[in-house]
Structure 1
Amino acid sequence: MNIESSQILYLLQLASPALPVGAYTYSEGLETLIETGTISNASSLKHWLGQELSCGAVRVDAAVALRTYKCTQIGDTAALEYWNSWLSALRETEELRLSSWQMGRSLLKLIVEIEPGIEPIVSSLIAGNACNWAIAFGITAGYWQIDLTAALLGYLHSWATNLVAVGVKLIPLGQTVGQNLLLNLQPNIELATAEILRLADDELSSCNWGLSLASMMHETQYSRLFRS
């Protein structure tokens, strides 16, 4: 990849943990899995995250972000609405759906405020008040013309960073262990990105029942630090 410095800076801002979208409040079922002992150390957390990158929902989300990126660059608002509705229908639990909507809504509100020129592209999604996170990410990356492969790497790395942070807090893991885990996930992220770039529309599927069960259990978990 030959990426301009401005694209790198845009990507760093979009994928930053400091982006005010509330990602740190969600565990995507990890809080339940840690509570039940399914995940209890760095090794089991890496295995879970590796399997998610290999065949889980995050792959579909990233693939839809890719399509949204392309739709944004040609101004196809009808396709943006289609993919947003499609992704909402894919959510198996209320927590997963609401977390995706909240983060997407927060990013759309932010990007319209700092980049007013994007408003015609996202006006219908703002009006619907239910824009998924992957959709908002793809729109922003497309509008800023971030290199497509780099944008997908940033999306997946941001996802992994957030969930490793959950493990550091809850298992708990040391900060050094968490950073080593994130480093060791790089080959998984690179492989998933390469595969996602080749996926056709009729290949968008995932093996997601573990996450779905954990998410459903989390809704009634007695003691919770996270919203999902």
Structure 2
Amino acid sequence: MDMLTNSALLKLLQLASPTLPIGAYSYSEGVESLVDAAKITSASSLEHWLRQELRYGAVRVEAAVMIRAYRSTIVEDFSALTDWNHWLSATRETEELRSQSWQMGRSLLRLFQDLQADEFTPLLLQEECNFAIAFGTIAARWQIDEQSATLGYFHSWATNLISAGIKLIPLGQTAGQRLLLELGEAFDRATQEVLTLQDDDLSSCGWGLSLASMAHETLYSRLFRS
């Protein structure tokens, strides 16, 4: 693993922080409907869901596309960057998941523009930019290495869903932190796989997430937007 410079490490911590003002806290990515259906009822069942998603689910594909956005930014291949953004939008199977990705991506790009307007490009001034694309582009511009960016992406994703689980199941804060710590090896394994995936291997077994997301759209009472 490449050693991050102090500057790059601090920027990664900022980019992956749960306090980043992009609205991630308002989404549960189907966890709310799974709790409502009593499919997730404890820390162990939430851990099982997260591990399965890391191994087979949509977040694995998102991270792989994030890396492609990273690499396209490095070589300034803006056509490829746009193509991958459209490709990722097309893989979103429900309106909630697509809207989440676009809203978070848009918010992240606007934040980046405010923080470093001199580095902002007109290419990214689009309403329908997926979060993974924005994350990869900014990680490249901030000179965060690929492996660290991918680990940060997975850690940020899991932190948000564990926070949702703490509220919904509910779990204690200590149980949530223990779960996040125990997922470390799963983050590392998923990162190594994502970094070597070929384009033709970008696939997921995400029907569980799709069904949970569709069910969430019709829940009578909701705390989260997805």
Query: Does TM-score exceed 0.5, indicating one fold?
Result: yes
Q: Deviations over 1:66-113 (max 9, x none)?
A: 010011111111111100000000000000000000000000111111
Q: Deviations over 1:2-26 (max 9, x none)?
A: 2111110010010001111000000
Letter in 1 for 2:102: W
**Percent of matched pairs sharing the same residue:** 61
Q: Deviations over 1:17-59 (max 9, x none)?
A: 1111000000000000000100000000000000000010000
State the partner residue of 2:124: 125
Q: Deviations over 1:86-142 (max 9, x none)?
A: 00000000000000000000001111111113322xx2332x310000000000001
State the partner residue of 2:167: 169
SS in 1 for 2:40: coil
Q: Separation in 2 of the partners of 1:116 and 1:5? A: 22
Q: Deviations over 1:142-165 (max 9, x none)?
A: 110101100000000000000000
Match for residue 191 of structure 1 among 182, 189, 192: 189
Q: Separation in 2 of the partners of 1:13 and 1:225? A: 26
Gaps of 5+ in 1: none
State the partner residue of 2:132: 134
Q: Separation in 2 of the partners of 1:219 and 1:125? A: 29
SS in 2 for 1:130: coil
Write the mapping of 1:53-68 to structure 2, written as runs, cut at 5 A: 53-68=54-69
State the partner residue of 1:20: 21
TM-score (normalizing by structure 1): 0.97
Gaps of 5+ in 2: none
RMSD after superposition: 0.7
Q: Deviations over 1:196-221 (max 9, x none)?
A: 01100000000000000000010010
Write the mapping of 1:78-89 to structure 2, written as runs, cut at 5 A: 78-89=79-90
TM-score (normalizing by structure 2): 0.98
Q: Separation in 2 of the partners of 1:211 and 1:112? A: 32
4+ aligned runs moved over 3 Å, structure 1: none
State the partner residue of 1:5: 6
